[in-house]
Amino acid sequence: MMQQEHMICGGARVILASASPRRLELLHQVGIRPQVEPSRVEEVITSTAPEQVVMELSRQKAEDVAGFHAGEKALVIGADTVVAADGQILGKPKSREEAVRMLSMLQGRVHQVYTGVTVVACGGRNRTPVTFFEETDVWVYPMKPEQIAAYVDTGDPMDKAGAYGIQGQFAAYVKGISGDYNNVVGLPVGRLCQELMKLEL
Amino acid sequence: MMQQEHMICGGARVILASASPRRLELLHQVGIRPQVEPSRVEEVITSTAPEQVVMELSRQKAEDVAGFHAGEKALVIGADTVVAADGQILGKPKSREEAVRMLSMLQGRVHQVYTGVTVVACGGRNRTPVTFFEETDVWVYPMKPEQIAAYVDTGDPMDKAGAYGIQGQFAAYVKGISGDYNNVVGLPVGRLCQELMKLEL
């Protein structure tokens, strides 16, 4: 019996260039056990289109960490996620008030979540990094101010783009999505596994 | 600060008429801590349409368990999930071979997942049970026979309708969905919470 990790990654060591516990958990879910080595690169954004921003940042993170592993047989994965509503990008809220504002903006309508991913294959043949993004539409039920306040009080919004985590209590307010669910959590593992298998490692 | 459970269920005790650990986990996720009391009712199906089947079975389960709690202030939740492809209903596979057949049928295309839910409010005013269903479309990437075999070898398919669990290793093969993700896991908690809040408990 062949393990799924070997089927997807060959014998390569996988390095996750992100400190996100949710991305690590998603890789574990599909059977991949990466080494975690967050990038400390200074983020440089040259675009305003959300899909370009997340691809750009994922590539900076992956290439930064890959720089420390040149010559090794390793796959470095970088990722970045943003929420967008009416073309406006929402990052992580900086205060309770900003979280309330973001959630008031997202309730009762649809918005978009973008995750960009870059895979750099270190060592051996000189491969071009693979970069892609996935977009998911998310519909949120109407929320009353006291429901938003109660959710913000859980503390859950503070470390998350758009001030919510679809995998937590916020699920009570999610009507449905169109696209990859794990992309909203922070890593489109389905697409990622398909791209890794195309590399034929 | 009002807890989300109280906001959704009022002071009512919640009873889950299902043995599914995934349904229990989804209720925990939105802050609801039910008592688990699986129904042992003999399931009777009078329909062939998947959405009718799941609503019918969810109602039989909820009413069976509610029968033991007449007069108490309790909410009994019953649920049933099936997978359908080309109108054919797929339940839980009875053998390894059947799991392989189901997955071979689902790979490289879209199929539907239906969950029916019934809520019976025991005690007090004589309320009519609330029954609804949610439908989610799921797109699966093409899978090679050795990928299907490796997934079946994990043992994950055997207790699941359609022979896969979207929340496990199978995520490597899910391209995207349209509808509620948790509906595919086994309980549309977003819609359920909205229906519970409408009851104004």
Please state the ipTM of this predicted complex: 0.94
Per-residue pLDDT averaged across A97-125, rounded? 95
pLDDT band at B2 (very low <50, low <70, confident <90, very high): low
Q: Do A190 and B182 touch (CB under 8 A)?
A: no
Cβ atoms of B103 and B142 within 8 Å: the answer is no
CA atoms within 13 A on the CB side of B180: 24
The vertex-B74 CA angle with B71 and B77, nearest 5°, equals 125
Q: Do A171 and B150 touch (CB under 8 A)?
A: no
Task: Give the pLDDT confidence score for residue A8 in this predicted structure.
Answer: 85
d(CA A139, CA A107): 8
Going by the DSSP 8-state scheme, the letter that residue A67 receives in this structure is: T
The predicted-structure confidence for A154-163, as pLDDT tens digits, reads as follows: 999 999 999 9
Task: Indicate if the pLDDT at residue B53 is higher than 90.
Answer: yes
Task: Give the pLDDT confidence score for residue A10 in this predicted structure.
Answer: 81
Measured in angstroms, the CA of A136 and the nearest CA of chain B are apart by 9
d(CA A83, CA A34): 26
d(CA B179, CA B114): 10
Task: Indicate if the pLDDT at residue B103 is higher than 90.
Answer: yes
Question: Do strands A35-36 and A13-16 pair parallel, antiparallel, or not at all (unpaired)?
Answer: parallel
Helix (H) or strand (E) holding A148, with range, is: helix A145-153
Task: Give the pLDDT confidence score for residue B51 in this predicted structure.
Answer: 96
Q: Does B154 touch chain A (CB under 8 A)?
A: yes
**Cβ-proximal residues to A190 (8 Å cutoff; 6+ apart), any chain:** A180, A182, B141, B171, B172, B173, B174, B175, B176
Percentage of chain B beyond pLDDT 70 is 98
**Is A173 or B44 the better-scoring residue by pLDDT?**
A173
**Is A42 or B139 the better-scoring residue by pLDDT?**
B139
Hey, which residues does A50 pair with through a beta bridge?
none
Query: Closest chain A residue to B154 measured between Cα atoms?
Result: A3
Q: Does B2 touch chain A (CB under 8 A)?
A: yes
Task: Indicate if the pLDDT at residue A78 is higher than 70.
Answer: yes
Cα dihedral: A140, A143, A149, A153 (round 10): -40
Task: Give the pLDDT confidence score for residue A12 in this predicted structure.
Answer: 85
Measured in angstroms, the CA of B116 and the nearest CA of chain A are apart by 16
Q: Do A178 and B182 touch (CB under 8 A)?
A: no
pLDDT band at A125 (very low <50, low <70, confident <90, very high): low
Q: How many of the other CB atoms lie within 10 Å of CB of B21?
A: 11
Cβ atoms of A77 and A104 within 8 Å: the answer is no
Cβ atoms of B63 and B129 within 8 Å: the answer is yes
DSSP letter string over chain B? ---HHHHHHTT-EEEE----HHHHHHHHHTT--PEE----PPP-----SHHHHHHHHHHHHHHHHHTTSTTS-EEEEEEEEEEEETTEEE---SSHHHHHHHHHHHTTSEEEEEEEEEEEEESSS-PPPEEEEEEEEEEE----HHHHHHHHHTSGGGGSGGG--TTTGGGGGEEEEEE-HHHHHT--HHHHHHHHHHT--
Task: Give the pLDDT confidence score for residue B123 in this predicted structure.
Answer: 84
d(CA B175, CA A193): 10
Q: Which residues of B are catalytic?
A: 80
Q: Do A1 and B189 touch (CB under 8 A)?
A: no
Q: Does A46 touch chain B (CB under 8 A)?
A: no
Task: Indicate if the pLDDT at residue A124 is higher than 80.
Answer: no
Q: Does A178 touch chain B (CB under 8 A)?
A: yes
Q: Does A13 touch chain B (CB under 8 A)?
A: no
- Give contacts of B153 with chain A, Cβ < 8 Å: 1
Task: Give the pLDDT confidence score for residue A2 in this predicted structure.
Answer: 63
Task: Indicate if the pLDDT at residue A126 is higher than 70.
Answer: no
Mean model confidence pLDDT for chain B: 93
Dihedral over Cα of B103, B105, B107, B109: its sign? negative
Query: Closest chain B residue to A183 measured between Cα atoms?
Result: B176
**Is A153 or A123 the better-scoring residue by pLDDT?**
A153
Percentage of chain A beyond pLDDT 70 is 98
- For residue A77, what are the CA distances in angstroms to A62, A180, B142, B169, B173? 6, 18, 23, 19, 19
Cβ atoms of A119 and A75 within 8 Å: the answer is yes
Query: Closest chain A residue to B169 measured between Cα atoms?
Result: A30
Task: Indicate if the pLDDT at residue B108 is higher than 90.
Answer: yes
Task: Give the pLDDT confidence score for residue B46 in this predicted structure.
Answer: 84
The predicted-structure confidence for B128-151, as pLDDT tens digits, reads as follows: 899 999 999 999 999 999 999 999
Per-residue pLDDT averaged across A17-40, rounded? 96
Task: Indicate if the pLDDT at residue B66 is higher than 90.
Answer: yes
Q: Residue B94 is which amino acid?
A: K
Measured in angstroms, the CA of B144 and the nearest CA of chain A are apart by 11
Helix, strand, coil percent values for chain A (each to nearest 5): 40, 25, 35
Task: Give the pLDDT confidence score for residue B121 in this predicted structure.
Answer: 92
Q: Do A182 and B194 touch (CB under 8 A)?
A: no
Residue for token pair 């890593």 = A187
Q: Residue A3 is which amino acid?
A: Q
Helix (H) or strand (E) holding A138, with range, is: strand A130-140
Q: Does B45 touch chain A (CB under 8 A)?
A: no
Q: Do A7 and B189 touch (CB under 8 A)?
A: no
Task: Give the pLDDT confidence score for residue A184 in this predicted structure.
Answer: 98
Interface list for A 181-200 with B (CB within 8 A): 181-182, 189-191, 193-194
- Give contacts of B22 with chain A, Cβ < 8 Å: none
- Give contacts of A182 with chain B, Cβ < 8 Å: 171
Cβ atoms of B111 and B176 within 8 Å: the answer is no
In terms of Cβ atoms closer than 10 Å to its own Cβ (0-12, 13-18, 19+), residue A37 is middle
Q: Do A179 and B177 touch (CB under 8 A)?
A: yes
Task: Give the pLDDT confidence score for residue B125 in this predicted structure.
Answer: 67
- Give contacts of A7 with chain B, Cβ < 8 Å: 146-147, 150
pLDDT band at A7 (very low <50, low <70, confident <90, very high): confident
d(CA A191, CA A32): 14
Which of B113, B174, B192, B194 to mutate: most A Cβ within 10 Å? B174
CA atoms within 13 A on the CB side of B56: 13
